[in-house]
Amino acid sequence: MTTGRELVVANAPVSYGAFELTVGIMPDVPDGDTVLDEVAGAGYAGIDLGPVGYLGSADDLAAGLARRGLALAGGFFELPFSDHARMPGALTGLGSLLDVFDSVGAKNGLKPRPTLADSGSDLRRSRPGQAAHDRSLGLDAEGWRRFAEGVEMAITVCGERGYMPTFHHETGTLVEAPWEIERLLEETSVGLCLDTGHLLVGGGDPVRAIRDWRERINHLHLKDARRSVVEAIVRESAPVSEIWRRKAFCRLGAGDLDVDAVLDPIRGSYSGFIVVEQDVLPERNGTAAADQRANREYLAARGF
């Protein structure tokens, strides 16, 4: 686990309904300036990028963050790690993300994290949460070899630009279940972005994850989830889109995440970003802004 003195509590556009599946696609997505204002006004000190361009062009983004006193926490980027024929083009896109990071720069010595994820598959998106108990959905030995090679390609691109990436396990991808995360850590040198909500969906225990994987965790996405909603989705073999439609992710403390048990072990031993996320679909007159203010107050009451 990354150690040091600087810790920044951030949020992300996805908490306000703005992410790759909604921006430019669905109605009622708030504009980037509104989200920046809401995040800063709620007391967060950083924000994740969201889709490239959503928060503004590179120069506008740098000025907008500085004006609001926000650091850039990172940027989510999917790559087809197993498909080496597609990786060169994907790595060019990763380079464009790093260009945005360069334009913003570090704040208080903290650089944004390239947050890498597998691009997933239709099969895995149709069966979220099931790989925890059905390993036939996962990669075989040869598949893991190719996947690991793809991850190391991305690590090299980031390292050559001066950035240390983190890997985001994600529902509907090839790294979702606890055993898949463990295999990733065995086969690659990448750091881990622990996403507590996605780990609950994937059948894992975030408290155990903090204990077992803490030496590899270099980024934290803190989100709560309702197990009853997740279990119903898994039981019904519902698609991954139901996670957002049924509001599986909720305010901190309203779900089944033991937030204190996750945070207590990292007090004084973790530096970097804690990115609060509550993945939601955009809603007119929704509760996103109120939820994120409540989440910040919840953490402040615990000394974060």
Give pTM, 2 decimals. Answer: 0.96
The two three-digit tokens of residue 224, written as one number: 């709560």
DSSP 148-169: HHHHHHHHHHHHHTT---EEE-
Does residue 2 lie within any of the structural domains? no
pLDDT-flagged residues of the chain (< 70)? 2-5
> What total of structural domains would you count in the chain?
1
Cα 142 to Cα 82, 201, 267: the distances in Å are 10, 26, 40
For residue 236, give the CATH number of its domain.
3.20.20.150
d(CA 32, CA 170): 24
Q: Which helix (H) or strand (E) holds 291?
A: helix 288-300
**Residue 181 forms part of a structural domain:** yes
- State residue 2's pLDDT score: 59
pLDDT for position 108? 87
Structural domain including 255 reads 7-300
Q: Which two tokens stand for residue 18?
A: 């703005």
Cβ neighbors of 118 (< 8 A, separation 6 or more) are 78, 79, 80, 81, 82, 147, 170, 173, 174, 175
Q: Is residue 111 part of a domain?
A: yes
Distance CA 153, CA 84 (A): 10
Other beta carbons within 10 angstroms of residue 153's beta carbon come to 18
DSSP secondary structure string, 108-146?
TTBPPEEEEEE---HHHHHSTT-TTT-GGGS--HHHHHH
Question: How many CB atoms are located within 10 Å of the residue 60 CB?
Answer: 14
Task: With respect to residue 190, please indicate whether it lies within any of the assigned structural domains.
Answer: yes
Distance CA 66, CA 46 (A): 11
| Helix or strand holding residue 222 (H, E) | strand 217-222
In a domain, 89, yes or no: yes
pLDDT one-digit tens code per residue, 82-135:
999 999 999 999 999 999 999 999 998 999 999 999 999 999 999 999 999 999
197 in a domain, yes or no?
yes
- Asked whether residue 36 is assigned to any structural domain, the reply reads yes
Residue 1 domain-assigned (yes or no) = no
DSSP 22: T
Q: Are 47 and 72 in contact (CB under 8 A)?
A: yes
